[in-house]
Structure 1
Amino acid sequence: MVLADAAARSDMIGSEDVALLLSTQRPGEVWEGNLLIHLLVLHALSRLPGNATIVRDGIRTALLHQRDDGGVPFVTDTDTWTAVTAGLALRTAGAPCDSLDRIAQHVQRLQHPGGGWSYTDHARLADTDCTTVALEFLHASDPHAYRNPVQSGIKALLSVRGGDGGFPTYAGTPSEACMTAAVINVLATQGSRYQHVIDEAMAFLAGSQKPDGSFPPGWSDSRLHTLFRAHLATRPFTTGRAPVVRERIVRLVRSIQNEDGGWGKGDGAPSDAISTAYGLIVAAGLPDHLPAVRAAEYLLSQQYSDGRIDAPPDMVGPRPLPYHVPVLSDAFLLLSWAHLTRRVTP
């Protein structure tokens, strides 16, 4: 609608388009928790007569989320995504059980009636990324106590499965390597029950892998993100396509490690802490300990006395726009240390 107005082609704007955008506007509520879309909708509606009150109300709603520094975030929050990611990292690292139980109960309460999870409790549309990590965390917490929510979540994942055997972020969108790897990680916790689904998903993953071992971009602008998730997805399997996918990942990860022991986001990029954390998860599973030792030394050189490690933003959404939630970096960094610790002390 914005483009049609700019091109003086109001004839291209249909009543159904207007009705769709109007349906997202409720005073005090940001549709799906997405302020970027909320503001784009206001730009579109402001170009049409009769919408002045709706636009004013929408502006007031957006300003409710203005931060102390004057800026406005692109979403209201990512609280569910950060909870499941931090929960899995803490579980893997052996955090106190009482804290983990509180997180698990909170995550269970956030599950949608359809079985999935969204990045925030303000969104109704479930996504594969949050759902898979939530399921991994709940299964690791107590596979018996959380059996029903886990099975409901797996059913939700299977409902969005693509005809190509892969899995998308959202229902009806193209399958993605990173999301497919994430689903394999969840299904692998269920024994051989979903082996046929895993086999087809692994075939999609293998078909998505480039000759150099990398994958198409996902929801991170560091190519190491999909690499570590795909590596974990292939690790339990010794037959079929998995060993080939894994071998290519290992070869690539080893070849692109920088002289300082870290990894960068892409070709020729300087080392950064978050890419190195992703690389360390792969390196921690290698027979040769040297890549992991070098990566650990790099990360230790970046750590402050209070435990913080400076890590640049790497999550992107809408792709390729970067966003920064510091606790996400902390969670992935902790996850990498947990994998290394398990290598050192099984």
Structure 2
Amino acid sequence: MPNPFAYWLARCSNATTDPAAPLIERQKAVYETLDRVLTRAVDHLIDTQDESGAWITPPDPRILETGLATYALAVTDATDPAVVAGRTWLALNSVSLQHDPLALMIENAIRDIVLDKRVELNLDRPELQNPVLRWRTAMLQALVLHSGQWDAIWSGDADERLAQLRAELADRYDSARRDRLRKWTVIEVAAARLLVEHHVGNAEAVRDSVATIKAVQSPDGSIAAMPVSTAMAALALGVGEPEGEALQRARAFLIAQQHDNGGWGLIPCHGWDTVVTIWALRDHPVFREKCLPRAVAWVQTQQRDDGGFTYSPTLEPDLDTTSAALSALEGLVEPERIERALGLYRALQRPDGLWNTYYYAKDVPADDCVARVVGALNRYQASGAPSTTAATRWLAERFSRGEEFLCGYRNRPHTVETVGAAIGFDHPAVQAAAREVAAAQNDDGGWGQRADEPSCASATGAALSCLVHTGLIEEDALTRALSYLDRTQRADGSWAGPPELLGPRPLLSYVPAESHAVVVTGLMAVAQRHSPCLCGCSVAEHSAAVDGIHLVRNQR
């Protein structure tokens, strides 16, 4: 398989006779570094691809899953080795890696409940008016009640607070099916309701919640393989039906999912991970030969009857993963599969021209999901995809106003890249945001998730992609960024990274395969701009481009 950079490296070796020698000599180190880093990154994917064709990389453990699983298991056996290991992990990893104040409060409270410490909560925060965020704290309140700390926290109005929580959970439980809540959310609601109703002695409500949980429980004992949902189910079953077989199956699943270090993490997202990996590297020649056929074949098996794709095989489809699949699979699958997916967007387009992420009736549009939908559907307008005009206008107006975007990643360069791909990289608001990204490069050559934050590989890759596509990449910035990625790349071709995936909002998780895909997307953006083997243009065209316009130097 030819080296994608062979032409340029060969040209560099003859720089003394080439009329473009000064520029080429300056670029020699860039191409060598890019070749080395990208080759190692692709080799990592070759080495880690599952036999099925997917990439299955468990997210790093975090306090949320570890705390809930440990607490649930301790209800029926506090001496279980899994409980001891979970408590040990929490003690050793007691500092939350979250950034959002509400996420910090949630993780700190769960950790303190498990470690028998006093819990501190402030549920009068303005952001809790958001119904999605309010639900997170309602579940937390149920845990506080079960742990025996309710009166200590709300000594002045404990009864009033409890009555309010009961009413809220009862209403949410009754409306769950009507509103098409995802099944794992239904179980979390049922479990929280059970804990509260058990506290007040409502045996009928307890039996009803137990029946709901058992009806949804999978044969492997889990709730859609979700550690959080399964832990809540196990906790509720331990209270409501402690001698039942359903509890034993839920416990067995949780124990099997525990990491060797004692922690638990987010559900593996190999549907999404595989799709975004294809999307990032589908044009890389070695990846196309070694990985692409099996990866595409596996993704096709994940398409549901309604045309949608899921971010994990045990879950229901969503419009975000489906849009990423449409972009990744363009020209690689039969048109019938594409048409089925397009039909989903026709059926679920809102009256205002937008799309929600999930089928849930009360879901709200998320900015980055709408942007990915727009980008995907724009590829298929000739195939009868629904109009994206209203959604594009909505994105452009919000981005132009500088509103805080509701996104799935805490990675500002990635947000700018995602929105730019939807509304146009030449849009004034995107250009302005990209200039801010360019100015935020750290002294070590990398970028942080936000300006003035420590560098990480995924933000650096996203910044490269953003700046290449907006035409704002400078030679020195590119050289320093590639040097940073070269220095921080591990021996196996991967990178370490901070939590950046939001799930469940507002909590962050680190998912290695997703962050890896973001990094290589940036590397591929650079490679496709500067290597004729990867972008498809002629050597002459590339020579003119590199010699004249592709690198912005000293123009800021």
Give TM-score, length-normalised by structure 1: 0.85
1:268 aligns to 2:425 (yes or no): no
Q: Which amino acid aligns with 2:520?
A: L
User: Paired residue for 1:130?
Assistant: 321
> Comparing 265-274 with 251-260, which one deviates more in the overlay?
251-260
Asked whether the 8 Å contact 1:27–1:61 carries over to 2, the reply is: no
Q: Normalized per residue, which structure has more helix?
A: 2
What is the root-mean-square deviation of aligned Cα atoms in Å? 2.8
**Cα 1:210/1:84, change in 2 over 3 Å:** same
Please point out which of 495, 510, 515 is paired with 1:309. Answer: 495
1:1-346 equivalences in 2 (<5 Å): 1-2=193-194, 4-5=196-197, 8=200, 10=202, 13=205, 17-49=209-241, 52-75=244-267, 77-94=268-285, 95-97=287-289, 99-123=291-315, 125-140=316-331, 142=332, 145-171=333-359, 172=361, 173-191=363-381, 197-209=387-399, 211-212=401-402, 215-235=404-424, 243-290=427-474, 291-304=477-490, 306-345=492-531, 346=535
Asked whether the 8 Å contact 2:396–2:423 carries over to 1, the reply is: no
Shift of 1:10: 3.5
Cα distance between partner residues in 2 of 1:177 and 1:306 = 34
Q: Number of aligned pairs?
A: 335
Shift of 1:28: 1.4
The secondary structure found in structure 2 opposite 1:139 is coil
Shift of 1:50: 7.1
Asked whether the 8 Å contact 1:166–1:205 carries over to 2, the reply is: no
**Cα 1:305/1:48, change in 2 over 3 Å:** closer
Shift of 1:201: 1.0
Asked whether the 8 Å contact 1:160–1:167 carries over to 2, the reply is: yes
Q: Which amino acid aligns with 1:260?
A: D
Shift of 1:12: 10
Output one character per residue of 1:114-133: Cα deviation in whole Å (capped at 9) or x when no partner: 1111112222x101222112
Cα distance between partner residues in 1 of 2:276 and 2:320 = 10
Q: Which amino acid aligns with 1:46?
A: G
Shift of 1:9: 6.9
> Comparing 6-15 with 80-89, which one deviates more in the overlay?
6-15
Cα distance between partner residues in 1 of 2:251 and 2:430 = 49
Larger relative CO (CA 8 A, sep 6+): 1 or 2?
Answer: 2
Shift of 1:191: 3.9
Asked whether the 8 Å contact 1:117–1:127 carries over to 2, the reply is: yes
**Cα 1:249/1:158, change in 2 over 3 Å:** farther
Cα distance between partner residues in 1 of 2:406 and 2:495 = 25
**Cα 1:44/1:163, change in 2 over 3 Å:** farther
Asked whether the 8 Å contact 1:234–1:245 carries over to 2, the reply is: no
**Cα 1:147/1:258, change in 2 over 3 Å:** same
> Comparing 169-178 with 305-314, which one deviates more in the overlay?
305-314
**Which structure: larger Rg?**
2
Output one character per residue of 1:237-277: Cα deviation in whole Å (capped at 9) or x when no partner: x7xxxx24423432332343334332211243122111111
Cα distance between partner residues in 1 of 2:459 and 2:472 = 20
Asked whether the 8 Å contact 1:283–1:289 carries over to 2, the reply is: yes
Cα distance between partner residues in 2 of 1:337 and 1:50 = 53
Cα distance between partner residues in 2 of 1:174 and 1:9 = 36
Asked whether the 8 Å contact 1:176–1:218 carries over to 2, the reply is: yes
The secondary structure found in structure 1 opposite 2:394 is helix
Q: Which amino acid aligns with 1:266?
A: R
Asked whether the 8 Å contact 2:220–2:253 carries over to 1, the reply is: yes
**Cα 1:197/1:25, change in 2 over 3 Å:** same
**Cα 1:304/1:176, change in 2 over 3 Å:** same
Asked whether the 8 Å contact 1:221–1:320 carries over to 2, the reply is: no
**Cα 1:18/1:277, change in 2 over 3 Å:** same
Shift of 1:329: 2.1
Asked whether the 8 Å contact 2:413–2:466 carries over to 1, the reply is: no
The secondary structure found in structure 2 opposite 1:31 is coil
The secondary structure found in structure 2 opposite 1:156 is helix
Asked whether the 8 Å contact 2:271–2:310 carries over to 1, the reply is: yes
Cα distance between partner residues in 1 of 2:350 and 2:439 = 33
Give TM-score, length-normalised by structure 2: 0.55
Q: Which amino acid aligns with 2:350?
A: G
Output one character per residue of 1:146-166: Cα deviation in whole Å (capped at 9) or x when no partner: 211112112223333333332
Cα distance between partner residues in 1 of 2:241 and 2:512 = 42
**Cα 1:287/1:10, change in 2 over 3 Å:** same
Shift of 1:3: 5.4
Output one character per residue of 1:11-62: Cα deviation in whole Å (capped at 9) or x when no partner: 8948764443232224414222212111112222333257633222321232
Asked whether the 8 Å contact 2:221–2:246 carries over to 1, the reply is: no
Cα distance between partner residues in 2 of 1:302 and 1:49 = 50
Structure 1 gap ranges (5+) = none
Asked whether the 8 Å contact 1:131–1:153 carries over to 2, the reply is: yes
